[in-house]
Chains A and B, each alone.
Chain A
C-alpha cells in the first residue's frame, strides 16, 4: 500500500469516526442548507435518505417528514442523496439555503434489494438462484395461510395441498423437486431465525410479510445441513414513514367446486346394471335382483327387499348436498407503523375465522396474530431491534365422519335421517355408518396452537465498514389437542335402534371417549456475526459475513385418555370416566452449533464472486462424528455492463450466473440413532386383565455411529436478460442436484433380525430448469404487468444398494428410474371371441400368475383386457425376477411428480382501479386413481364410480376406451388394476386468484377523514380446466375414498382503510 493511499484511508477513517461519534456533540461551523425530500410521483416525503457532501464526506439522514439539515464549511460542495429504490441525486450547492429534492423511483427491478441468507444484496449482484416475492402477493387475498398464498408464485417452488379444510389443508412445499427418497422440505427462516416448526410460517399473518425469498441452489448452503431442500426466507414489515394506521378486512363465502366424483342413487344403480349386462351369472350382491336395481335406477324411493339386511328403505340422498353448503368466513387486519429519527415500530393485529363448507358442523380455524417490530438507535453506533410475535390458532373439526365413510362407504341412497327425524342407519340393521350423524353429533377434535416468539438483536457499528451483530431468539409453542367422541345411536327407517353402533363413535381403548394431548416446544437461537463491507478504489466491492449460530430445540409431550365419556356439556379429561385411563409422556431435544462465513466480491457490479460455507455440528451424532462441512462457490458476469454492449437499447441487462455447492439434508436421522434406546410399551396379560409394562430395543438393538446427513451437490447455471429498458425481463435457470450420500435402507438378510439403520449409500440425481418472463409497462394512466413462470425437473435414482425389487403400481424407489415411478401392465386389445380367451389361458398357464385370480365366475370373456406377457416367460405375473433380462410384466410408464408447473399473473391498474388475475397449474402429472373407487367394482361394498359408464366395451362398442364392466371383483381387478390405460394426466389450469379493486380518490376519502379507502373483490379457485377424467379435483391427489370433502370456490369482498 503506498503512502498516500494509506494517508487517505487514515484521514477517511478519522473523519468517518468523527462524523459517527462526535458530530452531534461538536458539530461543524459554516453554512446551513435545509430541505425536504419527496417522491417525484406521489409527493410523499421520503424518510431515511442519506444526504452527503461529496467533498467532506459529512452527511445526515432525512427524517420522517423527509426533511434534512446539513452544515458545511467548504464552498459550493456537491450534495448527493441516495436511498434504496430511488435514482441517486446530486446537486452542486450555490448560494441557496433551502433545497427541495424530488427523487425519481427506480423502475428496473434489477436495482431491487433482495433478501439473501444473512443479509441483503442488490439483485444485480446476486449470483445464486434466488427469487423474491413481495408483500403484494399477500394483499387482498382471501387466503389466511401464507404457505398456500405462495402457490404458483415462483418457479421451482411447488406448493401442494390435498384438502380445502382450514387448518387441515395438508400443505407441502418443495423447492426444485425431490431431493431424497426420504423426503425433506425447505428450511423456513423468519427474520433471520429458523422458524420453530412448519406452522410458524403457515400461521403467520400474511399482512406482516414484507418479502419472501426462496433460495433454490447451492447459495442456500450457508444453512448447511438443512439447506438441501432450499430455504424460504421471510422478512416481516418494519415501521416506515409517518404514523400510519391501516385496516383491512375480507368477508367471504364458499361454494362447492368440482364434485363430479360423487354418484347418486340412480348412477349407482346404473353402474350395477351396466356391469351385470355383461355377466352370464349376474351378481347383485345383497340387492338380490335386477328388479331392485332397475327401481333404483329409475329413482324410486321406497322399501326394497334385500338378502342380508331385510327390508330396506332406499331413497335419494346426495351426501354432498346433505353435508356441504355455503359457509361464511372473515378476516381483519389492523396495523400501526411509524419511523422517527431514532426508532421505528410496527404493531399489527390480525384475526381470521375460516370455515370449510361442511354444513353439519363447524369445521374451521380461528387465527389470532399479534406482531410488534421495534428498532431503536441507542447511539450512533448501536442499534437495538426487537420483535414480539404471538400466533394463535384454534382448529376445530368433527372427531369423526370425514374419512372414507363420508361417501365411499356411506352410500348415496340412505338418507341422513329417517321419517322420525332420527339418524338413519345405513343398510338398515347394519347401521354402522352415517357421516352426517358422525360429524354432527359424534364429538369434536380441537387443536390449539400458540406460538410466542421474542427476538432481540443488537448491532454495533465498530467502524463504518465493520459491524458486529448479536442476536437471540426464543420461540415457544404450546400445542394442545382435545378429542372426544360421543356415541351416536342410529335407527332404522322404522324407528328401531340399529343392531350395530355407528362405528366411528364407539368408545373403546382404540377410540377413547376423551383424549388430550399436550406438546410444548421450546427453541433457542443465538448468533454472533461480524459484517464487513467496503469498496476499494470505487471498483472493488467486498462484503464479508462470518459468525457462529447456536440452536437448541426441546419438546415435551404429555397425553392422556379415558375410555368412557358422556356428553354433559363440559369438555375436559377430568369429566370423563376414570374406569380405564391411559397416559404417556415423552421428551426430546436436539441442538446445532455452527460456524459460517460468506464472502462476496464484485468488480464494478460486472464480475461477481461469492463463496460461502458452514461447519455444522449437531447433537444427533456421537462424539467424534458431530461436525460436517458444507459450502458453495458462485460466479456472475453482468455482460451488459461491458462497454461493447453499452451503445444499444434493446438489451438493458445481461447476466450469467454459475454456482456449485454442497448442502445437507436433515431427514431420515433421528435424535439418538447412535445409541440403542429402550422403548417402553404395554402388553395385556392376566385375569382380570391389566396392562403390564413391556420393553424392546429400538431397531432391535442395531445402531450406526458413522452415518450422517445426506450430502446434496448442487449446480446452477442461469441467464438473466432485460430488454427495452427492462420492460421485458427473463430469467432462465438450469440446475443439477446430486444427493450422493442419500440414506437408503440396505437390505440385509432377514436372519439379521433387526432393521439396520439406513446408510449413506444412495444417489439421487435431479435435473431441472426454471423460466420466468415478465413484461411491465405503463401507458398513460394504465400500468400493467404480465408475468409467466414455469419449471420442471426430473429425478433419477442412481445407486440403491441392496436388492432391487418392485411390483406393479407406483413404486417409490427403483434404481435407474425416477422417484415414484409407475410400473404398469401393458395391454393391447380386448378379447374378441371365446376362442381368443381360451387360447390366452392355454398360452399363459391356465391358472398361473395373475390368471389364478380369474377363474370360475371370474373367468375372462370377450371384452376383457389382454395383458401382455412382456418378458415372454409364458406367464402373466406380478412377480419381479431380477435374474431375467426383462424382469417383469409391468413396464415403466413415467413418474407421478408434477411436471411443467406454472403460474401466470396478469395485473393492471388504471386510475383508481386495480386488477389482478393469477393462474396456476400443472402441465403434466401422471396419476392413477387408487382405493375403493379407483374403477367400478374395485370393491363391491362401497359407492361406485360413474365416470366409466358409456366408455366401456360392449358388443356394440368393441373399440371402447375401457374394457368390459364386470360386477366380479377379481375380474375387475384384472381389467383395470395397474393397467397402462388407467394412467391419467392430472393436468390443470386454475384461476387461483382474481382481485378487482377500486381506490376512492384521495380528494373524496380525505373528506371522510381517511388517507386511503379501497374496496375490492377477491376470489379463489373460481375457475379451472383440467384433464382429470373421473370427476375429482386435480388437487385431491390419487386416492378415491378419502376425498369426499369437496374443494370449494371462495368469493370475497373487502376494504382497505388507511388513516
Chain B
C-alpha cells in the first residue's frame, strides 16, 4: 500500500511539475533571427538593411517581376520591330493590380523604416550618414518610378499602420511628388561619398555622382515634361505647379551634369583600338576577360555611374538574354538614324550608299550600327516576316561557349556617362535655345567620337539645315538604344503619339524603279523575298534614299498610342480600396 501511495504522490508531483514548467513549452522566442527591437543599434545594421535595397534597381530581372525587363528595352517602339509588347501600341487596359504601383510602395516603406530608426539612433550620426543618404536616394528612386508610370501619387514619408489615414489619402499632384524626389535627392547628395572614395568591395553602391546624375535626369525629365506635355496628363482635380520651375530645373540639371562630368570619376569606355571599333557592343556584355577579345574586365568600365552589379558567380542575369535580344530586331527608322561618318544623317550625306545591294547601307556609317546589329551582311532574305536586320546589343560574346542561356552577367547600366553628356547638352539647348561648340565638344561630340562620326557643330547644322535639338535627341536614340529610355524620351518630348503611331518597317524592298535584292527591275519579288509572309504588306516610307517601299512589320492600323497612354492607369483594385484615388485621364 505504501508503494501505491508513493507512486500516487509521485504522479501528483509530476502533474504539478508539468504545469509549473509551462513556460518551457509556451515562452519560446525566435532563435535564428533578431527582432526589430534589437536591430538598428549598430552602423552595420543600417548598412545591411540598406544593402537590401539594391534589388530595387532596374536589372536583367526587372524588380517588377519575371521577364518584364524586355518591356524596358524599346521593344515595339518606333526603333524596334519586335511585336510582343502592347504598351507602345496603346493597348492598355486597366488592370486590377500592378506591380509598378505596389512594389515601389514596399520600397518606400522600407526606406521610411530606416529613416525613422536613424532618427532615434543612439550612436554618432556620422557613422550612419552614408546609409541614411542611400535610403533617401532609394526613396527618391521609388517615387520617380511611380511618377514615371502614374504621374502624381500619394506621398508617404512615414511608416504606416493598417489604420493609418494615409491609406485612403488622395493622390498628390505630380509637382508635389517631384518636390519630394528632389528633396530626398538633395539629402542623398549631401550624405553620399564620392565615387573615388568608395572602396572596391563597395563598388556599385550609390555614389554622390550617381545621385547627382539621377537628380539631373529627374530635373530634365520633369522640365521637358512640363514644357512639352504640360498638364495634359494630370488627373482631374490635381493641383498645378506652385511656380514655373522649368528653367530652374534645367539650370540645375546643367550644373549637376557638369559636376558629374568634371568629377574625374568617370570616363567614356572607348576601347575602339583594342576592340576593332566595337566599344558600343562590348561595353554591354562586359564581364571578365573572356567577354571580349581584348581581355578587358568590368574593372575597365568607368562609364557606368548608376548600375546594377551582376556577377557570373554571385548574381547571374537569369534572363535568356542573348537569345531574346537577338530577336528584338531594329526598325527601318532605327537603321536610318545612324549617322554617316561625316556627321550627317544618311539622307543628307553624300557618303550614304543606298539600299540597292544588301550591306550597302552599312558603308561609311556610325560604328554603332555594326556594334548593335552585327557586321554588314552580304546576303539577306525576307521570307519569315521579320525585318531583315539583326540585333546583338547585350548579347554575350561567344554565346553558347563563353556564356550559356541565363548566365549572362554583365552589369546593368541605369545611368552612364554618355547619358549624362547627352542630358547636359539637351538641358543646355532647352534652357538657352542654343549650345556652343565648346559645350558640344565636352559632351555630345565625345560620344560621337567613339562612334566614329564627325562632331556636331553649329556650322555643320547651319550648313546642312540640321536642327541641333533634334540631333541631340537622335543621338540619344542611337547611343542609348535598347537601354529603356526611348519611351521616357518620346513622352517627355510630347511626341510619343506621332512616333509610335507610324508603321514599323523592315528592309527596303524597293520596286521596278529602285531595285534591291528583293525586287528586280521588273518589280517582281526575287527568291530572297516572300511577300506572303509579310501580312501587312509594304508601305512607302521616308528612308535615307527618299520615299521607298519597305516591308511592314507592324502596321500603323495596329498602333493607337494616345496622350492617355503617357501614364499608366491606376490599378482598379487600388481605386476600389481607396475611392479617393482619381483615375488618370482617358482610362475611365
- Is the CB of B88 closer than 8 A to any CB of chain A? no
Are the C-beta atoms of B109 and A752 separated by less than 8 Å? yes
* A691 cross-chain contacts in B, Cβ below 8 A: 314
A682 to B54, CA, bound (A): 10
Closest A residue to B559 using CB positions:
A847
A12, chain B: closest CB distance, angstroms: 18
Q: Does A302 contact B (CB under 8 A)?
A: no
B25 lies within 8 A of A678 (CB):
no
Is A1008 interfacial (CB-CB < 8 Å)? no
A586 at the interface (CB under 8 A from B): yes
B169 within 8 A of A: yes
A3 at the interface (CB under 8 A from B): no
Instruction: Give Cα A617 to B18, complex, Å.
Output: 14
- Interface readout for A147-186 with B: 1 if CB under 8 Å, 0 if not? 0000000000000000000000000000000000000000
CB distance from B361 to the nearest CB of A (A): 24
Render A693-712 as a binary contact track against B, CB cut-off 8 A, 1 for contact: 11111101110000000000
A510 and B318 contact, Cβ closer than 8 Å, known pairs A585-B32, A683-B55, A880-B96: yes
Contacts of B309 in A (CB 8 A): 684-687, 689
Mark contacts of A126-163 with chain B using CB atoms, 8 A cut-off: 1 yes-contact digit, 0 otherwise: 00000000000000000000000000000000000000
The verdict on A803 contacting B26 (CB below 8 Å), with A687-B298, A880-B96 known, is no
CA distance A593 to B18 in the complex (A): 9
In the complex, A460 Cα to B1 Cα: how many Å?
A: 13
Residues from 656 to 710 in A contacting B, C-beta threshold 8 Å: 671-672, 675-698, 700-702
The interface centre, meaning the residue of B34, B48, B203, B205 with most chain A CB atoms within 10 A of its CB, is B48
Chain B residues closer than 8 Å to A796, beta-carbon distance: none
- Across the interface, name the chain B residue whose C-beta is closest to A688: B200
Query: Once bound together, how far apart are the Cα atoms of A805 and B37, in whole Å?
Result: 37
B305 to chain A, nearest CB (A): 14
Q: Is the CB of B200 within 8 A of A687?
A: yes
Set of chain A residues within 8 Å of B105, measured between Cβ atoms: 750-753
Looking at the complex, which one of A501, A592, A877 makes contact with B25 (CB distance below 8 Å)?
A592
**A749 and B313 in contact, given A589-B31, A619-B28, A695-B52 (Cβ under 8 angstroms):** no
* A548 near B18: Cβ-Cβ < 8 Å: yes
Name the distance in Å between A679's Cβ and chain B's nearest Cβ.
7
Q: Is the CB of B15 within 8 A of A548?
A: yes
Report if A30 contacts B (CB, 8 A). no
B247 at the interface (CB under 8 A from A): no
Residue interface bits B161-177, CB-to-A below 8 A is 1, else 0 = 11010111100000000
A684 and B55 CA atoms in complex are apart in Å by: 10
Considering the complex, give the chain A residue whose CB is closest to the CB of B312: A508
Inter-chain CA distance A509–B161, complex, in Å, is 38
Q: Does B560 contact A (CB under 8 A)?
A: yes
Give the distance to chain B from A867, nearest Cβ to Cβ, in Å.
16
Nearest A-chain residue to B201, judged by Cβ: A686
> Contacting chain A: which of B397-405, B446-454, B489-497?
B397-405
- Do B3 and A379 touch (CB < 8 A)? yes
Fill in one digit per residue for A60-71: 1 if any B CB lies within 8 Å of its CB, else 0: 000000000000
> Of A526, A580, A748, which is in contact with the most chain B CB atoms at under 10 Å from its CB?
A748
For residues 93 through 110 of chain B, which have their beta carbon under 8 Å from a beta carbon of chain A? 93-97, 101-102, 105-110
Q: Which residues of B contact A685 (CB under 8 A)?
A: 51, 54, 201-205, 309
> B residues within 8 A CB of A697?
36, 110, 113
- Selected from A307, A626, A675, A676, the residue in CB contact (under 8 A) with B26 is A626
Q: Is B242 an interface residue (CB 8 A)?
A: no
Number of interface residues of B (CB under 8 A): 99
User: How far apart are the CA atoms of A680 and B47 in the complex, in Å?
Assistant: 12
**Segment at the B interface, from A100-108, A200-208, A815-823, A851-859:** A851-859
Contact residues in B for A446 (Cβ distance below 8 Å):
none
B228 proximal to A (CB < 8 A): no
Q: Does B520 contact A (CB under 8 A)?
A: no
Question: Of all chain A residues, which has the CB nearest B316?
Answer: A508
Q: A460-B7, A589-B31 are in contact. Are A687 and B52 (CB under 8 A)?
A: no
Specify the chain B residue showing the minimal Cβ separation from A850. B93
- B120 within 8 Å of A (CB atoms): no
Verify if B572 is at the interface (C-beta below 8 Å from A).
Answer: yes
With A382-B7, A678-B33, A688-B200 in contact, is A751–B298 under 8 Å at CB? no
Contact with A along B61-99 (1 / 0, CB 8 A): 000000000000000000000000010000101111100
A104 → B minimal CB distance (Å): 38
B-side contacts of A856, CB under 8 Å: 535-536, 555, 558
Tell me, in angstroms, the Cα distance from A469 to B24 when the chains sit together: 22
A interface, CB within 8 angstroms of B: 21, 281, 307, 379, 381-382, 429, 432, 460, 462, 468, 470, 499-501, 503, 506, 508-510, 526, 528, 548, 550-552, 563, 580, 585-593, 617-619, 623, 626, 671-672, 675-698, 700-702, 746-754, 756, 802-803, 805, 807, 847, 849, 852, 855-857, 877-882
Q: Which 10 A-B pairs have the closest CB atoms?
A: A753-B109, A591-B25, A499-B400, A750-B102, A689-B311, A684-B315, A694-B52, A684-B314, A619-B28, A694-B51
Known contacts A509-B314, A693-B48; 20 additional CB pairs below 8 A are A21-B1, A429-B400, A470-B14, A500-B400, A591-B25, A619-B26, A683-B52, A683-B55, A687-B203, A688-B200, A690-B201, A694-B52, A701-B36, A749-B167, A749-B168, A751-B156, A752-B164, A753-B106, A754-B109, A877-B93
A-B contact pairs, 28 of them (CB 8 A): A382-B7, A470-B11, A506-B407, A509-B314, A509-B315, A528-B11, A548-B19, A552-B28, A580-B313, A585-B32, A591-B24, A591-B25, A672-B29, A675-B36, A676-B37, A677-B35, A678-B34, A680-B33, A683-B54, A685-B201, A693-B48, A695-B48, A702-B161, A751-B156, A751-B167, A751-B169, A802-B577, A856-B558
Question: Residues of B with Cβ closer than 8 Å to A?
Answer: 1, 3-4, 7-8, 11, 14-15, 18-19, 21-22, 24-37, 39, 45, 48-49, 51-52, 54-55, 86, 91, 93-97, 101-102, 105-110, 112-113, 154, 156, 159-162, 164, 166-169, 200-205, 298-299, 309-316, 318, 384-385, 400-401, 404-405, 407, 532-533, 535-536, 555, 558, 560, 572-574, 576-578
